[in-house]
Chain A
Amino acid sequence: MEHTSLIERILRGIALTLVVIFFMFPILWIFMMSFQTNETILRIPPQLIFEPTLANYTALITGKLMTAAGTLDIAFMRNLWNSVFLSVTSVAVSLLLGVPAAYAFARHKFRGSEDIAFTLLSFKFAPALLVLLPLTLYFQKLGLANTYFGLIWVYQLICLPLILWIVRGYFEDIPADIEYAYRIGGHSWFATFRKIALPLAGPGIAAAGLLAFIFAWNNFVFALVLASADKQPVTVGALAFITSSGIQYGQISAAIVLSITPTLALALYAQRYLVEGLSLGAVKG
């Protein structure tokens, strides 16, 4: 690598610049659109310099869009709240269910343990609609259609396999001897689990939780099929904007910015763990 020629370094620089432009431009452009009025957005050629306005954000946050024809209600904050509530609760439930199971899979080889672990993993790879479509019919019969409870239950399909397999890896990394030493000291398995295993796997559990949150937040199809307007998260809600009349492109852009900011922020915060999480523990970052 040391003896690279000048031409090669220039070519590398150009290639990297193109890569960065391709991947960053859409985010940057939508970000800029979110500060523009419809007039500047519709101007051709597109403007790089414009007078930024916060009107789009105010309209979304207050839920009232003032137009010449009157005021229009936008339920976007409701969508945002739904996203927060669904993702946080789903991850909490998943951690509660998944961490003990991960510990069992990591520490005890019991009959059928691998089969169960792989069955849970296979949920991640099965087509979502295979389960979702019949589930809509069941949910209607059970009264679970369009309820937070039903949605959070189904969201376990996203969060649980992820948490189970990542956390399992972290538990396996803890030398079993540390736990024996504590157990021989007369402590119960629960005390060992709580005082030794949990703190040692703590960062891994936190990372798995953050990743599960990102996946739950970004999910689209579950809520599209199972939730109606008042329970929909941002992914479904923002998409509905494009067909609803009266809402302007600036507001759609602002809604996108507000919807992707949480996951981008979390990803930057947890980037050290992303590689391991995305590969379900197969690749270390």
Chain B
Amino acid sequence: MTAATTHRAGPSGFRISKRVLPYVLSLPALLVCIGILIPFLTSVVYSFQRYRLSQPWARQFNWGDNYISFFTDPKFWNTLKVSLLYAGTTVVLELLLGLAIALLLQKRSTLNNFISIMLLMPLMTAPALAALMWKLMTNPGFGVLSYLASLIGLHDFRWASSPSTALFTVVLVDIWVYTPFIMILLLAGLRSLPTQPFEAAALDGVPRSFVFFRITLPMLTPYILTATLFRLLDSIQQFDIIYAMTQGGPGDTLTVFQVEAYLNFFQSTNVGRSAALMIILWAITYFLSNIFIKNWLRLRERARGQA
């Protein structure tokens, strides 16, 4: 809006330089990123090739073979299943927990503000280091959490090293790190809601469950959507926590997309399969990010309007 008026209202003497100027200003940033676009295209090419680092002589185009073989490949279906399960579980649990905490802290008070700042600390911890912290705490030999589990009767609870509890453990770490993200966004959303509807509802003696489901939630929806999609985009690509915790193990319990692609590339040196996996993940994230950006833009317009 402002830019359109800029054009007409601006001093006419600057017309020519004005047309070039924005390009000049944004070109360096763009050039740096174009260098990074090339590997993206390379990935597309690799994904259509039979390409193993261990057998460079056998490298040739096999067109869709990498993708077609996925249909009959139980490892691929496992990757897809674990990725979706991980993303789904973390996002749903973080959303519920984050919303609950945000509601608890909604009222502005010194204590609530202090707690909300404290809760940011897990979010600011590097996810890989967070996984390392939990690894130390769940160590079967001396881990404090293993000890606490044994107190409640779980004597042989093996956390990330047992296939049956590995997913639970990494999800727990993810919740620890990222729930504050949802909490802080929803808290900001809650506190920015207009107060009149709530005052009116209180005056009319409307039950609080009604207020929550019919006023609070609908008004909070744009914030919830943005926070959820943000997390979903991140979570479906999770690498740091899972790799730092178990490197995808035990066995292939936790071989989510990025971990599986990493192992394919560096351990089995199967570049073609690794690239095809990444392209599929990219397609999923591209689809999600398009939905995300629409919501995000709407919210961003609103935030700009407040300023």
A residues engaging B (CB < 8 A)? 1, 12, 15-16, 19-20, 22-24, 26-27, 29-30, 33, 41-46, 96-98, 100-101, 103-105, 107-110, 113, 116, 118-123, 125-135, 137-138, 153-154, 156-157, 160, 164, 169, 172-173, 176, 180, 183-184, 189, 214, 217-221, 224-225, 234-236, 238-239, 242, 249, 252-253, 256, 259-260, 263-264, 266-268, 271, 274-276, 278-285
CA distance A103 to B3 in the complex (A): 12
B28-36, B63-71, B86-94, B163-171: which lies at the interface: B28-36
**B142:A42 contact, CB within 8 angstroms:** yes
**B304:A100 contact, CB within 8 angstroms:** no
In the complex, which of the residues A12, A105, A157, A189 contacts B21, with contact meaning CB atoms closer than 8 Å? Answer: A189
**B184:A278 contact, CB within 8 angstroms:** yes
Tell me if B159 is interfacial: C-beta within 8 Å of chain A: no
In the complex, which of the residues B6, B43, B135, B233 contacts A131, with contact meaning CB atoms closer than 8 Å? Answer: B43
With A133-B43, A283-B223 in contact, do A271 and B120 touch (Cβ < 8 Å)? Answer: yes
What is the CB-to-nearest-CB distance from A243 to chain B, in angstroms, rounded to a whole number?
10
Chain B, residue nearest A262 (CB): B124
CA distance A271 to B147 in the complex (A): 35
CB-CB under 8 A from A220, the residues of chain B are: 126-128, 239-240, 243-244
- Contact bitstring B102-133, A, C-beta under 8 A = 1, else 0: 00110100000001011111111111111011
Tell me if B39 is interfacial: C-beta within 8 Å of chain A: yes
**Range of interface residues on chain B?**
35 or more
Could you list some 16 contacts between A and B, CB below 8 A? A1-B107, A30-B133, A46-B147, A104-B25, A105-B26, A127-B258, A157-B33, A160-B29, A160-B32, A220-B244, A238-B128, A239-B128, A276-B303, A282-B300, A283-B226, A284-B188
What is the CB-to-nearest-CB distance from B37 to chain A, in angstroms, rounded to a whole number?
8
Chain B, residue nearest A214 (CB): B124
With A12-B104, A274-B120 in contact, do A217 and B126 touch (Cβ < 8 Å)? Answer: yes
**B181:A180 contact, CB within 8 angstroms:** no
With A127-B281, A284-B307 in contact, do A134 and B137 touch (Cβ < 8 Å)? Answer: no
CA distance A261 to B40 in the complex (A): 35
What is the CB-to-nearest-CB distance from B180 to chain A, in angstroms, rounded to a whole number?
7
CB-CB under 8 A from B14, the residues of chain A are: 183, 189
With A97-B28, A172-B304, A239-B132 in contact, do A46 and B144 touch (Cβ < 8 Å)? Answer: yes
**B122:A153 contact, CB within 8 angstroms:** no
Within B29-88, the residues touching A (CB, 8 Å) are 29-30, 32-33, 35-36, 38-40, 42-43, 46
**A267:B134 contact, CB within 8 angstroms:** no
CB-CB under 8 A from B188, the residues of chain A are: 275, 283-285
**B185:A275 contact, CB within 8 angstroms:** yes
CB-CB under 8 A from B42, the residues of chain A are: 134, 137-138
What is the CB-to-nearest-CB distance from B277 to chain A, in angstroms, rounded to a whole number?
9
What is the CB-to-nearest-CB distance from B20 to chain A, in angstroms, rounded to a whole number?
9
For the residues of A in contact with B, the DSSP-based class is: helix
**B184:A263 contact, CB within 8 angstroms:** no
CA distance A173 to B305 in the complex (A): 9
What is the CB-to-nearest-CB distance from A279 to chain B, in angstroms, rounded to a whole number?
6
Top-9 shortest CB links A-B: A218-B126, A109-B3, A104-B25, A220-B128, A104-B22, A101-B26, A134-B39, A134-B42, A108-B22
**B121:A267 contact, CB within 8 angstroms:** yes
CA distance A280 to B144 in the complex (A): 37
Tell me if B101 is interfacial: C-beta within 8 Å of chain A: yes
CA distance A245 to B128 in the complex (A): 20
In the complex, which of the residues A97, A131, A282 contacts B39, with contact meaning CB atoms closer than 8 Å? Answer: A131
CB-CB under 8 A from B244, the residues of chain A are: 220, 239
**A133:B142 contact, CB within 8 angstroms:** no
CB-CB under 8 A from A189, the residues of chain B are: 14, 17-18, 21
CB-CB under 8 A from B133, the residues of chain A are: 26-27, 30, 256
CA distance A281 to B19 in the complex (A): 27
CB-CB under 8 A from A42, the residues of chain B are: 141-142
CA distance A157 to B35 in the complex (A): 11
CB-CB under 8 A from A259, the residues of chain B are: 126, 129
CB-CB under 8 A from A234, the residues of chain B are: 126, 129
CB-CB under 8 A from B25, the residues of chain A are: 100-101, 103-104
User: Which of B40, B46, B180, B306: most chain A CB closer than 10 A?
Assistant: B40
Chain B, residue nearest A48 (CB): B144
In the complex, which of the residues B137, B226, B243 contacts A282, with contact meaning CB atoms closer than 8 Å? Answer: B226
**A129:B117 contact, CB within 8 angstroms:** no
CA distance A32 to B116 in the complex (A): 23
CA distance A30 to B3 in the complex (A): 52
**B142:A44 contact, CB within 8 angstroms:** yes
CA distance A271 to B113 in the complex (A): 11
CB-CB under 8 A from A180, the residues of chain B are: 9-10
What is the CB-to-nearest-CB distance from B291 to chain A, in angstroms, rounded to a whole number?
11
CA distance A105 to B30 in the complex (A): 12
With A125-B285, A253-B136, A259-B129 in contact, do A29 and B144 touch (Cβ < 8 Å)? Answer: yes
CA distance A103 to B27 in the complex (A): 12
**A128:B6 contact, CB within 8 angstroms:** no
**B3:A184 contact, CB within 8 angstroms:** no
